[in-house]
Amino acid sequence: MATIKDVAALAGISYTTVSHVLNKTRPVSEQVRLKVEAAIIELDYVPSAVARSLKARSTATIGLLVPNSVNPYFAELARGIEDACERNGYCVILCNSDDNPQKQRSYLRVLLEKRIDGLVVASVGQDSDLLQSLASVRTPMVIVDRELEGVDADLVRIDHEQGAYLATQHLLELGHRDIAYIGGPAETGVTQLRLSGFRRAMAEVGAPVLGNRVRHCDFTSPGGHATAAQVLDGKRPTAIFAGNDMIGFGVLRAAAERNINVPGELSVIGFDDIELSRYVYPPLTTVGQSIRELGESAASLLLTRIGTPRQGAAEQRIVAPRIVLRESTGPRPDLFNDYR
C-alpha cells in the first residue's frame, strides 16, 4: 500500500508539502497541486484516517448502538441518524448487539477505542455494567428510544406512556372493554411505561384488567405469535393492544391461523408505526411518530453537542405520539349488547 512518502517521491516534492495539499493547511501552487493529485491517482494512495484524525482531533465518525438491527424499527431509526450525519459530513458505525448486553458492552469499548466524535445509544434493557460504563463516557452522547437510569446524557424518545394511553383509548372508544395487553419484556422501561398508559386508560372508564389479560414476550413477531396463541385459545378478548408493531404482526398471524376475522371478531393495535405495518393484512392500526424523523432529531442534537459541549442539565426531547388509523381495528362485535 502506497504511503505519503511514496506520493512525495513520485511528485518530486517533500512529504510535508503533500500533507499541506491533502489537508489544505497551507497554500501551494497550482502546478504542485496537480503533481500531487496525479501521483495519488497513479499510486492509488488512500490517506490514513487515523493520522488525519490525530491531527484534526476529530474522526468525523459517529457510533450507533442498537439492540436488534433485524427489527425494522431500529433499521428505520438508523436510517434517520445516518441521513442526518451524512448531510453534515459524518460517517456512522452501526453496532448491533442482538439483544445481548455483553455484546453491547464489547461494542461500546470498540467504538470508544476508535475515538468516535459522538455516540447514539438505543440500549438493551437496564444492564448495570453497561449503565456504569455509559455513565463514565466523556464523548458526547444521546440516548434514543429507551431512557437509561443514572446516565446523564441527552435523550430523544417518543412519549411511551401517552402513546399507550391513546392506543387503549382508541379501543375503548370503539366499545371494547375486554382488552388484552401483550407487551415486551416486563423489566424494560419502555414496557413499563406502555403498560402504565394502558392501565390508565382502562381505569378511567372503570374497565377491569384481569391478570391473564397482561402478557409479556420479546419485542418480536415470533414472541407475539406464541403469546397471542395462548390468549386466543382461552376466553378470547375482543381486542389486543400489542406492545410494538412486530408483536402485532405475530398477533395477526395467530388470529389468521384460527380463522378469527380482524377486525370483525378481534381488533388489534400496535405501537411504533414502522413502514411494514402499512403492508401486512389487514394493515395495522398503530400509534407512533415518524421513526426516521426521530433518528434525525437524535443525530441533530448529537451534532450540536459535538460542536458546542453541553453545559447544565441534559436535554430531553419527548416526541408526542399520534394514532395512525388503518384496518385492523373496529367496533366491538357485540356492541349492541353493550354492558357499559
pLDDT per residue as tens digits for the range 255-272: 999 999 999 999 999 999
Are 190 and 330 members of one domain? yes
Q: Does residue 36 fall inside a structural domain?
A: yes
Q: Does residue 56 fall inside a structural domain?
A: no
Total domains in the chain come to 3
Q: Does residue 53 fall inside a structural domain?
A: no
Mean pLDDT in residue range 224-238: 96
Are 222 and 236 members of one domain? yes
Please tell me the predicted confidence (pLDDT) of residue 112. 87
Residue 100 CB-half CA count within 13 A: 9
Q: Does residue 184 fall inside a structural domain?
A: yes
Q: Does residue 54 fall inside a structural domain?
A: no
Please tell me the predicted confidence (pLDDT) of residue 334. 81
Q: If pLDDT is split at 50, 70 and 90, which confidence band does 57 have? A: low
Mean pLDDT in residue range 58-86: 90
Are 237 and 301 members of one domain? no
Phi, psi of 96 (to 5 degrees): -105, 120
Are 197 and 213 members of one domain? yes
CB 164 within 8 A of CB 241: yes
Q: If pLDDT is split at 50, 70 and 90, which confidence band does 340 have? A: very low
pLDDT tens by residue, 277-290: 999 999 999 999 88
Are 329 and 184 members of one domain? yes
Q: Does residue 52 fall inside a structural domain?
A: no
Please tell me the predicted confidence (pLDDT) of residue 339. 40
Residue 124: pLDDT over 70: no
Mean pLDDT in residue range 218-243: 96
Percent of the chain at pLDDT exceeding 70:
92
DSSP H helical segments within the chain, as ranges?
4-11, 15-23, 30-43, 49-56, 72-87, 101-113, 128-135, 160-173, 189-204, 221-232, 245-257, 291-307
* Average pLDDT of the chain to the nearest whole number: 88
Separation of alpha carbons 134 and 148, rounded Å: 9
**C-alpha cell at position 340:** 357499559
CB 90 within 8 A of CB 298: no
Phi, psi of 246 (to 5 degrees): -65, -40
Please tell me the predicted confidence (pLDDT) of residue 55. 53
User: Taking Cα atoms as reference points, which of 72, 108, 64 lies closest to residue 299?
Assistant: 64
Predicted structure pTM score: 0.81
Q: Does residue 307 fall inside a structural domain?
A: yes
Q: If pLDDT is split at 50, 70 and 90, which confidence band does 5 have? A: confident
Q: If pLDDT is split at 50, 70 and 90, which confidence band does 75 have? A: very high
- Which residues span the domain enclosing 246? 160-289+324-337
185 to each of 171, 226, 339, how far by Cα in Å? 23, 14, 33
Lowest mean pLDDT among 4-8, 50-54, 160-164, 287-291: 50-54
**What distance, in Å, lies between the first and last C-alpha atoms of the chain?**
77
Q: If pLDDT is split at 50, 70 and 90, which confidence band does 338 have? A: very low
More confident residue, 57 or 137: 137
Are 248 and 212 members of one domain? yes
Q: Does residue 148 fall inside a structural domain?
A: yes
* R_g of the chain, CA atoms, integer Å: 26
Are 241 and 269 members of one domain? yes
Are 264 and 173 members of one domain? yes
Are 213 and 330 members of one domain? yes
Please tell me the predicted confidence (pLDDT) of residue 336. 52
Separation of alpha carbons 240 and 123, rounded Å: 27
Are 125 and 219 members of one domain? no
The CATH number of residue 307's host domain is 3.40.50.2300
Cell 405495518 locates to 277
User: Taking Cα atoms as reference points, which of 133, 112, 2 lies closest to residue 59?
Assistant: 112
Percent of the chain at pLDDT exceeding 90:
57
Are 90 and 182 members of one domain? no
Residue 187: pLDDT over 80: yes
Are 169 and 268 members of one domain? yes
Mean pLDDT in residue range 38-46: 83
